[in-house]
Amino acid sequence: MESFESQVQRRSDSDSRFLDCNGFRVHYKIAGSGEPVIMLLHGSFLSIRSWRDVMEPLSQHGTVIAFDRPAFGLTSRPVPSKHNEARYSPEAQSDLVIGVLKELGFTQAVLVGNSTGGTLALLTALRYPRQVQGLVLAGPMIYSGYATSEVPAAVKPFMKALSPVFSRVMKALITRLYDRNIRGFWYKPERLDDETLAEFRNDLMVGDWSRGFWELFLETHHLHLDERLATLSLPSLVVTGEHDLTVNARESIRLANELPGAGLKVIEDCAHLPQEEKPGEFVDALVSFLGNLRGDV
């Protein structure tokens, strides 16, 4: 069987880069220069590839960083143990966001998160407010999904003990349902061509990928983010696809109303992945937000 390292080497792009941070070998890409620094956080089951149409245009306005979150893409998937520091909890992923930023020599960034990436962007802003210059949350899971899911404490030891078994079951389910679920993120699924879908699948299914995803699943817990929104005072923009059903557009509109000072952009003819389905409109909204952040007239 081909090793994880050789698979990563074979699938890396010419602009792929790697760094070691918090127990992970992190796959990232960087474009542009200067300020602001814009860090892109993709959603679950996806990868850096989710930002393929927006990185270059955004790089005309600052430094853009995107990385594969733990359990996804070409970032390593170590099993947590007393011998390593790799952890998959939301808080540990938040720490990794700041850790990657520091490793690259930056002290502050605008965090742009889609779906569960939006959950982590908001969590990071709550935990590291001095390192977050602004927030752009596209279809973020705040009131449902990843932000409110929880593995019951009573059964967690049992599930951890049988991790190899449960991860194989999860592997079978994800493999069977992957294509249909990803197409479900799109308002018009035919816009996602078969080749790109296959590339996303290959990005996920590297090495012992199901075990990494299982470790991430085990560490999910209710984050109570909605109870902490009032403590934030950062410039923020909430973006939603008009037809988003994965995170209902009504939830994003609610978030824009409850997050102090947040703006709202509803993108028509679009569902859960505005940066993919409507990249031009997404970039325009983000560039306008960045202009307000700089105080442009």
8 Å CB contact between 84 and 64: no
Helix (H) or strand (E) holding 61: none
Q: How far apart are CA 170 and CA 210, in angstroms?
A: 7
Selected residue with higher pLDDT from 19 and 154: 19
Q: How far apart are CA 206 and CA 72, in angstroms?
A: 8
Between the alpha carbon of residue 256 and those of residues 201, 265, 277, the distances in Å are: 32, 9, 21
pLDDT value at residue 296? 61
How many residues are given for the chain? 297
Q: How far apart are CA 105 and CA 98, in angstroms?
A: 11
Q: What torsion do the CA atoms of 180, 184, 188, 194 make, to the nearest 10 degrees?
A: -30
Across 239-253, average pLDDT: 97
- Tell me the pLDDT tens digit for each residue of 26-57: 999 999 999 999 999 999 999 999 999 999 99
297 pLDDT band, cuts 50/70/90, is very low
Q: Is 291 helix (H, G, I), strand (E, B) or coil?
A: helix
Across 227-232, average pLDDT: 95
Count the neighbouring beta carbons within 10 Å of the beta carbon of residue 42.
27
Model-level pTM? 0.96
User: What is the architecture of the domain spanning 4-294?
Assistant: 3-Layer(aba) Sandwich (3.40)
- Tell me the pLDDT tens digit for each residue of 260-292: 999 999 999 999 999 999 999 999 999 999 998
Domain-wise residue ranges, the chain: 4-294
- Tell me the pLDDT tens digit for each residue of 123-138: 999 999 999 999 999 9
Beta strands in 245-284 (DSSP E): 263-267
